[in-house]
Amino acid sequence: MTVPEQQHSSTPWWKSAVVYQIYPASFKDSNDDGVGDLQGIISQLDYIRALGADVVWICPMYDSPQVDMGYDVRDYESVYAPYGTVADMERLIEEAHRREMRVVLDLVVNHTSDQHKWFQESRSSKDNPKRDWYIWRPATYDPVTGARKPPNNWLGNFGGSVWQWDDHTQEYYLHLFCPEQPDLNWENEETRKAIYESAMEFWLRRGVDGFRVDTVNMYSKGDMRDAPITDPDSEWQFAGYQYCNGPRMAEFLGEMNQVLAKYDAMTVGECPNTPDMKRVLEYVSAKEKQLNMVFQFDVVDIGQGPYKFQTTPFNWKLPALKDAIERTQNLIRGNDGWTTAFLENHDQSRSISRFASDAPEHRVASGKLLALMEAALSGTLFIYQGQEIGMVNFPLDWDMSEYKDVDSSNYYKMVSARTNADPTALHAAHVSLQHLARDHARIPMSWAPTPNAGFSPSPTTKPWMRADAAQALVCNAKQQQGDKGSVLSFWKHALRIRKEYEGLFVHGDFDVLDRGDESVFWFVKTAKGGEVVNGVNGTNGTNGTNGATNGEKGKRGKAVVVLNFTGEAREVKWPAEVADEKEKSELLVSTVEKHEEGKLAAYEGRVYLL
């Protein structure tokens, strides 16, 4: 593999990376069976490279019963048959490397499928050698009624108790997610060694460049005491602060890091339920040698309820978004940590629908606004399939049969059971799901204006999940590739600027301005140590933007970003902290082709160099 040239030779490759996330079932179907596959991914590597991404992250492609879309792994060393084979995966890695791109896989090792051979042995008898590879506990009993009860009151991530009774061995096993996803026992050294060999080294030896580590802070469960009662109407209580960030996490991740270091492999961990930023920094500190970076959920959790879907759309104000971004950006300030910039993934609905406007007249402007914001943030940047063309949530008039995700269906069933199927309550649940459900990220990628969005070779092939044909008519990759005013073209342009000004946008410090403004988001990026960064060549008049010219005029170590988060024009009022520098500023990029000097158009964003 030819390693992409780095601006700073001493800087790890993953810091300046742009990562493109792929959900295999829904990306591209190559053999017309209605399911995305590895050959489909290979066919679009040039598309991804042309966007400006240099790393491909592939969601679980392992052999799986697909109870939770591959996050229930039956065999780490095999590929889910509808996606392809291990040989296909090896070819994908080879083809990516040939294009100077890297490949990252999902590492799902908090739990396996209940069909994994390890669990099949574990549940076969109490004296099986692999019994302790999973977490088994005896029942407790009600002192009054004598009724059998689970070992604690923890609520599962998909609802209900985290404990499943096993008739055969007369004990409960732990599953933080579905009952079909039993948790591995990381306290057992033999189990850990098997995980490192089967789930990690098997693929690292085949050229994989790193892992997105699923539920990375859940391996050490602590003492598993009862969670405090936060929902008096439920027998089961939120326990995220009990089972996340346990006492042996540093030890376990240190072991994992020793395996990864042999291959110069990157890690990005999924890190929920960690409000203490000092704890987050321990995970991502270069000195600690645990993880390279993590996904914090401060931004994407905005607008969620006490239980994710118990909320109403747009019940948040812009200052909350500013604060959330600031928390994640500050991980790199004055320390040896690293951070990530993302707005979408397979577990989130579409960012335009959540944070801007998916109204037809605002979709394109909103897509460009969010692209500019994300491209200007420090850390490793992640883009989710379809985000680069401005895909939005599917409409409210799709009924609940179109929601395939276990999280969505379980929530709707819970509301139905709690309210005796009250129509008003069920409608509210549907509205919330239409805003926040994971399903919106999982419909087929919009490639072309056909009934199945160009997902399969034949335009009439029915995909495994309904394609949004109406959206595909106005939002598809085929049309946008030839349109200089498209969301896709703007993403390409923004990523070129990000790479050109790497010291400023990838590594720079972030400061919020005018925090209380509920309409406009101002922030400053400052290159570290007063570093001078190069100007952008040839951007003048391209894609509706203005660009800095060559030479000394284009050398700046500071930038001001302004983003209008409303559907109305707003006056450009420079905050007091930078008002004196307005006359010395130069417009680097605007998201609209014809902009007014003193007025921001609806959902317009700009970057000024100082």
Catalytic choice (171, 209, 214, 282): 214
Is 439 known to be catalytic? Answer: no
Catalytic choice (29, 68, 183, 270): 270
Residues 6+ apart with CB under 8 A from 437: 309, 349, 403, 405, 407, 408
In sequence order, the β-bridge partners of residue 20 are 56, 383
Structure tokens at 163: 């404990």
Is 214 known to be catalytic? Answer: yes
Residue 63 phi, psi (nearest 5): -55, 130
Report whether 79 contacts 62 (CB < 8 A).
Answer: yes
| CA–CA separation, 320 and 5 (whole Å) | 38
| CA–CA separation, 111 and 72 (whole Å) | 7
What DSSP string describes 454-487?
T-SSSTTPPPSS---HHHHHHS-HHHHTT-TTSH
| CA–CA separation, 567 and 563 (whole Å) | 12
In sequence order, the β-bridge partners of residue 570 are 600
In sequence order, the β-bridge partners of residue 104 are 57
For 229-261, b/e burial (b = at least 16 CB within 10 A) is: eeeeebebbbbbebbbbbeebbebbebbbebbe
Would residue 209 be called left, alpha or beta, if left means φ above 0 and alpha means ψ between -120 and 50 degrees? alpha
Q: Are strands 102-107 and 55-58 parallel, antiparallel or unpaired?
A: parallel
> What's at 308, amino acid-wise?
K
Report whether 267 contacts 201 (CB < 8 A).
Answer: no
Q: Assign 3-state DSSP to the chain and report helix, strand, coil percentages, each to 5.
A: 35, 15, 50
| CA–CA separation, 518 and 505 (whole Å) | 24
| CA–CA separation, 352 and 371 (whole Å) | 10
- The residues that are catalytic are 214, 270
